Amino acid sequence: MEFLCEIFTSTGIIFLNSLLLIFEIEGCHIDVGTLKYMIDTVFDSCSIYEKFNPYIFSRILLTTEQENWIDSFFMFNAESALKCRLKSKPEFERTLKEMDDENLKILFTEKLYKHENYITEQELLKLLNSIKTSTNLYPQVKDIALKQWIEKMQEIQSSSIVKSKRWNDVGEKSKRIVLFWCSMLSEKKLIKSENIENIQEKLIDFLPYDRSIVGRFFYRLCDDGNVVNKTTKPLEDILDAALHCLTSASNINNNNECYKVVKELLAPYPEKPNKSIMDREVGDLKSLCKTLNDSEIYKSVIEGVLSLVSNISVHESIKFCAQHVEENYNSEDATLFEKYKEEFDKNYAECSFTMDKDQFLLEIINLIILKKRSFELRDTQKIAILCVLKDYDNETKGIVQQIATGEGKTLIIAVASIIHAFKGHKINIVTSSPILAKRDVSDPPNGCEDLYKAFGLKLTIFVTIVHKNGKKFIQNVI
């Protein structure tokens, strides 16, 4: 975006200001992939056309819902590639709405500009209609020309006729799990595009087995440093060997190369004390974090936080502090927070040589969550919280975290805020959505008001309203 504004100043600044205005009023409801696609479209258009209307993209943003931006930009690109206005625009809009795979739309645009032969509007619409319901097409068409897409789609459909009944019998949750495994293997290039349907069928066979064992198997399988990289055996043989090992009640004495690999991938975790009932093995978390964070700048930060998570233990002083909080759970004492702070500091002194202060406070809160909500914080949530709390140097400054939907952002923010408060900081939590702000400070299961109040913290919501004249007014909602 910075480069766009530097090279094509007028168009870039108008585009950026339109985005900021909409995000300030509505909040941001698009992902990074969509934003990058839009920026690339603006940049490419400015590069291609000498005389270009700088307000054209601003008009699209201001007259279209955010959820439809990618479709509007797709149609703009289609008109640019065809060098004419679309006559069947309503039909294109309907077709694009039925197309769930946004990555496929972006890839389609790239292929459209590179298309060797001229394509008509009707041929373009026909191609879109043929692929709109596809859920697994992207990895199979990303390396082939646009004119071959229909042939590939027909090939997939014909090979799926026999398999579709079995796939349809699988529940929606199980389908999502299979597709997730499939995408992991595709991303690591362990699946060839022509074999993806066969692999998907084979993955269905893993569904009846213990999900934690199978999940561990696939995470290890996709780890860059795993034993699979040392074997020439095809993935199908490894999966067959894994299914055989999972099916057999006794230990299989087979020294075949595939079975050696599979036994290592399926090997159970070593027994260790104080293992949380919901934690994933820290060793696998380390490999996952290494995959997702390849920057050398954050390598030491991630390793340090993972080390803290792997060494967390519940000291007697932690149990004592948590019990005290539980006993005063419904107290109206206005000085409760100050009393807790003094008590926590005193008890932490007893275990300060074996435990970090953030760990100490984290485990107190974790025990309260377990008591009141009957579940514990997951290892991944603890990692996120400790990354927020870490004191960074001037070079690193901090880590931007992307927490997926359903992974517990509200709880992560609440726990991190409570710990920050006990460390003497004044806390401001910022969101673009007033609706989410109100939800997050409500009672469970949606909000964490009970958790804040348990530790004697007071909450206030402020909504900033930006008027047309540019003046800002603070409205106290609660």
Q: So what's the pLDDT on residue 467?
A: 47
Q: So what's the pLDDT on residue 210?
A: 85
What is the spatial distance between Cα 245 and Cα 252, in angstroms, rounded to a whole number?
7
Q: So what's the pLDDT on residue 98?
A: 86
C-beta atoms surrounding 291 within 10 Å: 15
Q: So what's the pLDDT on residue 290?
A: 59
Q: So what's the pLDDT on residue 185?
A: 80
Residues of the chain with pLDDT below 70 are 115-118, 135-136, 150, 153-165, 193-194, 224-231, 249-253, 269-304, 306-313, 392-397, 464-478
Nearest to 366 by CA among 315, 427, 292, 330: 315
Token pair of 155, please?
Answer: 């090939």
Structure-token match 């879109």, residue found: 128
419-431 pLDDT per residue, tens: 999 988 888 888 8
179-221 pLDDT per residue, tens: 878 877 877 777 776 677 778 888 888 988 888 788 888 888 8
Structure-token match 């603890």, residue found: 382
Distances (CA, A) of 139 to 145, 195, 206, 415: 13, 11, 22, 39
Structure-token match 């190369």, residue found: 257
What is the spatial distance between Cα 441 and Cα 410, in angstroms, rounded to a whole number?
9
Could you give the dihedral angle defined by the CA atoms of residues 176, 180, 186 and 191, in that order, rounded to the nearest 10 degrees?
Answer: -70
Contact 228/221 with Cβ under 8 angstroms?
Answer: yes
Residues for the chain: how many in total?
A: 478
Q: So what's the pLDDT on residue 17?
A: 92
Residue 434: cis peptide before it, omega within 30 degrees of 0: no
Q: So what's the pLDDT on residue 115?
A: 59
Question: What single-letter DSSP state applies at residue 249?
Answer: S
How many CA within 13 A on the CB side of residue 29? 13
C-beta atoms surrounding 418 within 10 Å: 25
Contact 385/412 with Cβ under 8 angstroms?
Answer: yes
What is the spatial distance between Cα 390 and Cα 173, in angstroms, rounded to a whole number?
36
- pTM as predicted: 0.45
What is the spatial distance between Cα 263 and Cα 55, in angstroms, rounded to a whole number?
61
Q: What angle do CA 265, 268, 273 make, to 5 degrees?
A: 145
Question: What single-letter DSSP state applies at residue 268?
Answer: P
Token pair of 217, please?
Answer: 């198997």
